[in-house]
Structure 1
Amino acid sequence: MQIEKHTKILITLMIASFLTPFCGSSLNLSMPDIGRAFQVGTSELSWVVEIFLMTCAIFTVPMGQLGNRIGKQKVFFMGTVLFSISSFLVYFVMTIQWLMVLRCIQGIASAMLFATGTAIVALVYPPERRGWAMGMVVSVVYIGLAIGPVIGGFLNYRFGWQSIFYFIGALGAIASIMTILFMKQDWVNREQGYLGSVSIFLYAASLIAGLYGLSEIVTTWWGKYLLALGIVFTALFVLHEAKVPKPLLPVRIFLENKTFSFSSLAAMLNYSATFAVGFLLSLYLQMIMGYDSETAGWFLLVQSIVMALLSPTMGALSDRYGSAVLASSGMGVIAVGLLVVWQSMNMGSMLLIVLGLVVVGIGFSMFSAPNNNAIMSSVPPAYFGMASSVISTVRLLGQVLSMAIVASILSRTTNAATSSMDPATLLPNIQYALLVFMAFCIIGIIPSMIRNK
């Protein structure tokens, strides 16, 4: 049977979309072993995740504009190649600092994929099929999240944490080959491809100062000043982008398009509330409950399976009934699931934890694909590249914020002699973080509901 051209492109995008979530969810299970290998605590381990996300957030919008200028296919292909090479380079890593450098390179590669993938889906598929196609991409993201803990836990337990990177490198190579074979069109849009040096500087400075300051606000005296500097740079960036004829990020669309702006805000709050949950549960299952990484991976499997199974259906429903009710209800369902997980830790019940993860998975599938569909459907095709970058950027900002919150909370200790990895300190910190994430979900219902009013 002949496979249609757009189906081959979709499969290629799905394989590439699998890489980053798989990398994140599989590495979560290896964090205790990485900590022991490099003799570092929870704060440094959180930075292994956070520095990847921060780098990706910084480069996503510029890479989206580069895709407009030289072609989305070229940027996407470079991303698959760089992701593959950087993953194999883990063989030479000897310190936690070099591991963070490697994670920065992976962040740049992921930015190339994030900035172009959703736009290519929107360009290839017509509006009546776009929600389904995005649901398929979101579904494979969740498949990556689903099998990441199982495969990552197995690889980490049997062959060491470096083997996870080798596995990712092989997948990246496959995605590179498929891009050459099936993705022939460049999708150039030079009218939207602007890379101004002042815009890039202000954008990067606002993210670096703001996000790094937020991460260090609890543990250092200068964190609050760096955060304030980030806010100043953000204001300067917005003012600059509103005035220039060809902005890096057309900020006016946030003021003129309420559906676009509120959907983006809801996405950021959603990822802020959910991304670090896998990291927290990895620590809980291994450091407190005493499971090995292979066993812990099976427990973390359930949420992502639910998300993978339901996302295409939820995306198709958003094509028919709209996104507001589905996405808003999803945020509320996630909050209920997090509450169940929080309570299960008080009771030490693994059955309740699994139930809570099922509820979180249902809620996330109700939110993600419909919300992405709302964002892409609210702008004309000329802005698909920009909208794709915004979806990725707000997701990454939410993920960085999620990890920054966790880094700040996990750094709290009752006294200087107590380790952040000590169960007596770790458990209340994990539960406190879950309460903060519940609050984010509840707040996120508001912009999700009023986006079309």
Structure 2
Amino acid sequence: MNVDKSMQKYVIFACALGSFLTAFLSNATVIASPTIALEFGMSNIQQNWIATIFFLIIAAASIPAGKLVGKKGLKKSLIIGVFIFLLASIGCALSFNTATILGFRALQGIGGALLNVCGTALVVSALPPQERGKGIGITVTGVYIGLSLAPIIGGILNYNLGWRSIFYIVIPFLILLLYLIPKKIKSEWKVGENDPIDIPGSVIYSIAIICAVYGFTIINTTLGLILTVIGLIGLIGFTAFELRQKYPIFELRLFKNHKFLSSNIASLISYLATFVITFVINYHLQYIMGMNSQSAGFILIITPVMMAVLAPFAGKLSDKINPQKLAAIGMGLVAIAIFILVFITDTTPLYVIGFAMFLQGVGYGLFSSPNTNSIMSSVPRKQTPSASSAVATMRVIGQTLSSGMLTVLFAIIMGSVPIIPKYYGLLMYSSKIACIISVILCVIAVLTCLVGIHSKDKYNTEEDLTV
């Protein structure tokens, strides 16, 4: 479908704004989590679930959403996602105990899944292949601007107006999207609208991924181990089931393309390695160094600002240079940055932490847009909703497992306790182990990118998949 330049700009703006809002609330709640935990009497493990449950639900919903949004229409589904996100934001702001805040964060995850999946798919559908990297770069910039502003704005709002104001502030922007999308984006994009929805596959996947990821967050317990095993068996069963379906909920044959496969694995590992670092630094600044949320926000902004600055440039560059080369270089820089954080103590100068965050931002800015472009450009256009759902799923599974990794380390090293001065030594030890694991994962991600470079599969393919 040919789309005029004006509508293309509105598509990119709407998708970038949706990505911004999702990213903003994911990170702003991290910096506000100590305040929320204090008000509701949460333990250290419950506190981590403010972010974890959001990503867990996105992970469970993204694959089914990929097929559903293509069938019902990308624009229509984006509007529905914005509406759900709006209702959940209001609910979070009005929460009165642990159960209500976690419940509305779960609902917010459903809206976030629709926003994530529709956003990338809409950009790819509306733009020609030679401009996809640029469009994806701008959309990814929306993510990084959200991540950039979240610590500072979230910190200021939390410190001066309370944590509920973080949810209230996104409401006008969500209302703007509800007005803008139907008014300015006249076209609709549908894929496989006559295909049936694979309900059994959707159910199997959702249950399996929830069991696997939730089980991992409590894998130090018998229940956690059982759930993890059940989840992994379920995912294997899901794979076998989907390969026999004429209209699968997710086209697993996409992974026959080695560029698609390697870039998705690199994405999963990269988020698993890096998302926990936000928690580590935030806890170090607020608990170990005694900063308030407002002051910590000014420090936490460093990494995402560098991501936001470099993402458009890297996305545009990936239209001309093999994107997996750029991704490998970026993850190498991230590995060096996190390696520096392995050695921080209560006497480490703030400028050392700041430099590591700067280097991490540069590295991830070079990685993310090219890697996303590699994923989206390695599939036929009609498979872009499925590819987009893969992008969203790898991101949120990685983020969920990353925060879950810290939860497991807390449970093993600290136990379920409030984070108070008597446990600060154990907090720093938990953070050190998390950083060591992250460095190893970053190296694996670099190797995964390098493997994908040598694949003979083509980019910007319009070839059909064959069984």
Q: TM-score scaled by structure 2? A: 0.93
Q: C-alpha distance in 2, partners of 1:93/1:354?
A: 34
The aligned counterpart of 1:434 is: 435
For structure 1, the residue ranges without an aligned partner over 5 or more in a row are none
Q: C-alpha distance in 2, partners of 1:50/1:182?
A: 35
Once the two structures are TM-superposed, the CA of residue 168 in structure 1 deviates from its matched residue by 1.8
> Is the CA contact (8 Å cut-off) linking 2:93 and 2:165 kept in structure 1?
no
The aligned counterpart of 1:323 is: 323
The aligned counterpart of 1:249 is: 250
Q: C-alpha distance in 2, partners of 1:318/1:438?
A: 25
- Of the structure 1 ranges 129-138 and 406-415, higher mean CA displacement relative to structure 2 is found in 406-415
Q: C-alpha distance in 1, partners of 2:198/2:192?
A: 14
1:226 aligns to 2:227 (yes or no):
yes
SS in 2 for 1:411: helix
Q: C-alpha distance in 1, partners of 2:75/2:193?
A: 17
Deviation string, structure 1 residues 90-120 (Cα, Å, up to 9, x no partner) = 3431111111100011000001111111011
Q: C-alpha distance in 2, partners of 1:192/1:61?
A: 19
Which amino acid is 1:251 matched to?
L
Once the two structures are TM-superposed, the CA of residue 3 in structure 1 deviates from its matched residue by 7.5
Q: C-alpha distance in 1, partners of 2:78/2:187?
A: 12
- Of the structure 1 ranges 63-72 and 158-167, higher mean CA displacement relative to structure 2 is found in 63-72
Once the two structures are TM-superposed, the CA of residue 419 in structure 1 deviates from its matched residue by 4.8
Alignment of structure 1 residues 39-78 onto 2, 5 Å:
39-78=41-80
Once the two structures are TM-superposed, the CA of residue 192 in structure 1 deviates from its matched residue by 8.0
2:213 to 211, 214, 218: 211
> Is the CA contact (8 Å cut-off) linking 2:325 and 2:453 kept in structure 1?
no
Q: C-alpha distance in 2, partners of 1:269/1:208?
A: 18
The aligned counterpart of 1:199 is: 201
> Is the CA contact (8 Å cut-off) linking 2:288 and 2:346 kept in structure 1?
no
Q: C-alpha distance in 2, partners of 1:31/1:395?
A: 21
Alignment of structure 1 residues 36-435 onto 2, 5 Å:
36-190=38-192, 194-218=196-220, 220-254=221-255, 256-345=256-345, 347-413=347-413, 419-421=418-420, 422-435=423-436
Deviation string, structure 1 residues 211-247 (Cα, Å, up to 9, x no partner) = 11100012x2221111111111011000000111111
Once the two structures are TM-superposed, the CA of residue 203 in structure 1 deviates from its matched residue by 0.2
SS in 1 for 2:248: coil
CA-atom RMSD in angstroms: 1.6
Q: C-alpha distance in 1, partners of 2:419/2:297?
A: 23
SS in 2 for 1:245: coil
Which amino acid is 1:357 matched to?
M
Q: C-alpha distance in 2, partners of 1:98/1:151?
A: 24
Q: C-alpha distance in 1, partners of 2:359/2:347?
A: 18
- Of the structure 1 ranges 373-382 and 342-351, higher mean CA displacement relative to structure 2 is found in 342-351
Which amino acid is 2:175 matched to?
A
> Is the CA contact (8 Å cut-off) linking 1:345 and 1:353 kept in structure 2?
no
Deviation string, structure 1 residues 128-149 (Cα, Å, up to 9, x no partner) = 1110111111112111111111
Q: C-alpha distance in 1, partners of 2:356/2:93?
A: 37
Q: Structure 1 residues 149 and 192, CA, compared in 2 at 3 Å: closer, same or farther?
A: farther
SS in 1 for 2:188: coil
> Is the CA contact (8 Å cut-off) linking 1:258 and 1:452 kept in structure 2?
no
Q: C-alpha distance in 2, partners of 1:16/1:158?
A: 26
Once the two structures are TM-superposed, the CA of residue 65 in structure 1 deviates from its matched residue by 1.2
Q: Structure 1 residues 339 and 346, CA, compared in 2 at 3 Å: closer, same or farther?
A: farther
Q: C-alpha distance in 1, partners of 2:138/2:415?
A: 48
Once the two structures are TM-superposed, the CA of residue 175 in structure 1 deviates from its matched residue by 1.7
Deviation string, structure 1 residues 196-221 (Cα, Å, up to 9, x no partner) = 22101110121011011100012x22
> Is the CA contact (8 Å cut-off) linking 1:375 and 1:387 kept in structure 2?
yes
Q: C-alpha distance in 1, partners of 2:426/2:369?
A: 37
Q: C-alpha distance in 1, partners of 2:397/2:438?
A: 15
SS in 2 for 1:190: coil
Deviation string, structure 1 residues 251-289 (Cα, Å, up to 9, x no partner) = 1221x2111111100000001011121122111111111
Q: Structure 1 residues 37 and 192, CA, compared in 2 at 3 Å: closer, same or farther?
A: farther
Once the two structures are TM-superposed, the CA of residue 345 in structure 1 deviates from its matched residue by 3.3
> Is the CA contact (8 Å cut-off) linking 1:259 and 1:374 kept in structure 2?
yes
Which amino acid is 1:243 matched to?
R
- Of the structure 1 ranges 128-137 and 89-98, higher mean CA displacement relative to structure 2 is found in 89-98
Once the two structures are TM-superposed, the CA of residue 452 in structure 1 deviates from its matched residue by 3.5
SS in 1 for 2:134: helix
The aligned counterpart of 1:448 is: 449
> Is the CA contact (8 Å cut-off) linking 1:194 and 1:248 kept in structure 2?
no
Once the two structures are TM-superposed, the CA of residue 415 in structure 1 deviates from its matched residue by 7.5
SS in 1 for 2:96: coil
> Is the CA contact (8 Å cut-off) linking 2:215 and 2:224 kept in structure 1?
yes
Q: TM-score scaled by structure 1? A: 0.96
Q: Percent identity?
A: 29
Q: C-alpha distance in 1, partners of 2:22/2:431?
A: 24
Once the two structures are TM-superposed, the CA of residue 342 in structure 1 deviates from its matched residue by 2.5
Q: Structure 1 residues 91 and 315, CA, compared in 2 at 3 Å: closer, same or farther?
A: closer
Once the two structures are TM-superposed, the CA of residue 61 in structure 1 deviates from its matched residue by 1.5
Once the two structures are TM-superposed, the CA of residue 301 in structure 1 deviates from its matched residue by 0.8
> Is the CA contact (8 Å cut-off) linking 1:344 and 1:350 kept in structure 2?
no
SS in 2 for 1:58: helix
SS in 2 for 1:319: coil
Deviation string, structure 1 residues 149-207 (Cα, Å, up to 9, x no partner) = 11000000001101101012222112221112212222011258542221011101210
Q: Structure 1 residues 181 and 350, CA, compared in 2 at 3 Å: closer, same or farther?
A: same
The aligned counterpart of 1:33 is: 35
- Of the structure 1 ranges 122-131 and 88-97, higher mean CA displacement relative to structure 2 is found in 88-97
> Is the CA contact (8 Å cut-off) linking 1:150 and 1:297 kept in structure 2?
yes
> Is the CA contact (8 Å cut-off) linking 1:286 and 1:296 kept in structure 2?
yes
Q: Structure 1 residues 181 and 78, CA, compared in 2 at 3 Å: closer, same or farther?
A: same
Which amino acid is 2:159 matched to?
Y
